[in-house]
Amino acid sequence: MKSDFKVLISALALFFILAKAGLVSAEISASLVSFSSEKLLQGDTLIIKVKKETGLGQPSGEFLASKVDFFRSETGDWVGFAGVDAKKKTGKYILTINFPNGEKYQKKISVVARKFPVTVLRVTKELKDQGYSPKSIANDVVNQEAPVLSKIFRNYFPAAYFAKPFIYPLSKVEIGGDFGNIRKNQGVSLQHLGVDLEAEMETPVYAVNDGAVSFADNMPTYGKTLIIDHGLGIYSLYLHLSEFKFSKGDRVKQGDVIGLSGNSGYSISPHLHFSIKLNGAAVDPLIFVETSMVEILK
């Protein structure tokens, strides 16, 4: 009996030492923190929910060397988004959530490989006549478009412009080109970091959520491109448009027609290329939208 008591005392002492070190928490029980998944594929989106019942105020997190900002959803709970880049190395990673009082909650999340098919980077005669070649496309993407985008993505709005789940950018969603396909031609290899959706010329394109337009301009391969900053490091991108309905700096509401689809830039036929960037990670945009639909108001 006496030795049992000693074991109990040392177990309690160990618990408090660990609690002080932030490895376990006396107050934050696992039922107050939930994850859309504990095992993610490359390109997946993780949504983290912290129940309002923790009573600890706005958390902030870290995952895959990126910050995770939280916002208060309509239910009053805290919601954070984290993205697994399509090219992220597989393995186990620690997600850390920090609370204003110094408490900490950690979770091990696995990132597993997703199979990305290899397809041909097609250049039709019409595109060739316009000066496109596999080399010119790769060169434009790397040297012209990537620097413009990384500059935009560095200056995101840290709070959320939105409170509702995301929606699709078209009223009818039909995939013409999958996310993550590796397109190769003449020694060039480019990963398709968005999804191509079937759209006739001049189909209305909707803002997938509230936000601020951070870019609306022409680019060599992306064509007429519009980018919305939704806050929290979330950006939606709409490529190959024929017309813009908003300009840089404009505020948009979910469902606003932000432009009309088209065939501008490096595009084989009229369609909408839709991408989501999440704290720098290129994630599958349809999985992102669907995860938000399931998780935000749960």
Q: What share of the chain is helix, strand, coil (3-state, %, to 5)?
A: 20, 40, 40
Site for Zn ion in 193-232 (CB under 5 A): 196
211: exposed, middle or buried (Cβ count in 10 Å: 0-12, 13-18, 19+)? buried
Between residues 156 and 179, which has the closer beta carbon with respect to Zn ion? Answer: 179
Of 137, 273, 278, 286, which lies in the binding site for Zn ion, with binding defined by CB under 5 A? 273
Between residues 77 and 196, which has the closer beta carbon with respect to Zn ion? Answer: 196
Those residues whose C-beta lies under 8 Å from the C-beta of residue 143, and which sit 6 or more positions away, are: none
What is the helix (H) or strand (E) element at residue 286, kind and residue range? helix 285-295
Give the closest residue to 94 by CA, choosing from 81, 107, 113, 80: 107
Sole residue written with tokens 């870019």: 215
Q: Are 236 and 276 in contact (CB under 8 A)?
A: yes
Give the closest residue to 127 by CA, choosing from 136, 116, 118, 139: 136
Q: Please choose, out of 97-105, 142-150, 181-189, 268-276, the segment that lies near Zn ion by the rule CB under 5 A.
A: 268-276
90 secondary structure, DSSP code:
P
Q: Least distance to Zn ion from the beta carbon of 240, Å?
A: 8
Give the distance between the most distant pair of CA atoms in the chain. 89
Q: Please choose, out of 13-21, 53-61, 71-79, 188-196, the segment that lies near Zn ion by the rule CB under 5 A.
A: 188-196
Q: Least distance to Zn ion from the beta carbon of 271, Å?
A: 7
Between residues 46 and 137, which has the closer beta carbon with respect to Zn ion? Answer: 137
d(CA 215, CA 148): 10
**Tokens at 137, concatenated:** 């496309």
Q: Please choose, out of 44-52, 99-107, 220-228, 272-280, the segment that lies near Zn ion by the rule CB under 5 A.
A: 272-280
Between residues 17 and 175, which has the closer beta carbon with respect to Zn ion? Answer: 175
Q: Least distance to Zn ion from the beta carbon of 86, Å?
A: 13
Between residues 106 and 139, which has the closer beta carbon with respect to Zn ion? Answer: 139
Count of residues interacting with Zn ion (CB under 5 A): 2
Q: Least distance to Zn ion from the beta carbon of 181, Å?
A: 9
Between residues 25 and 42, which has the closer beta carbon with respect to Zn ion? Answer: 42
Q: Least distance to Zn ion from the beta carbon of 275, Å?
A: 8
Interacting residues with Zn ion (CB under 5 A): 196, 273
